[in-house]
Chains A and B, each alone.
Chain A
Amino acid sequence: MLRIERATRDAIVAHAKRDHPDEACGIVAGPAGSDRAERLVEMVNAAGSPTFYEFDSLDLLALYREMDDRDEEPVVVYHSHTATEAYPSRTDIGLASEPNAHYVLVSTREHGNNEGPVEFRSYRIVDGVVTEEPVEVVEHLPTNTAADAAAADETVESES
Chain B
Amino acid sequence: MEFASPRHAMTWLHTWLGLIFGFVLMVCFFFGALSVFDREIDRWAIPETRFDPQPMPSFDQVLLPAYQRMQPDQAEYDRMMPLYHDPAAGPMTPRNELPVDEYWAYTTHRDPVLQIGVGFRVPHPLESVGHNHIHANTTIDPRTGDEVPNSALKIGSDWFYPLHYSLNLEWNSVGYYIVGLAAFFMLVALVSGIWMHRKLFRELFTFRPWKSRLRSILDLHNLTGVVALPFHFFFALTGLIIFASTFYMPVSDTLLKPLHEQQEALEASQNGLPHERSGIPAPLASVDAMVLEAKRLWAERGMAGEVGFLMVSHVGDANSFVSIYRAGSDRVALVGEAIHFRGSDGSLLLQELDHPAVESANEFLTGLHLQHFEHWSLRWLYLFGGLLGCACIATGFLFFIEKRKFQHAREGQFGSRLVEACALACVTGLLLATLAMLVANRLLPEGDQRADWQKWIFCGAWLASLLHGFVRANTHNAARASAAWYEQVWLISILAALAVLTNAITTGDHLLRTLLLEPYMAVAGVDLVLLVCALGATLTARYLQRRHEQACQRVLPSQPASALLDGGAA
A and B held together in a complex: no
Which A residues are closer than 8 A to B by beta carbons? none
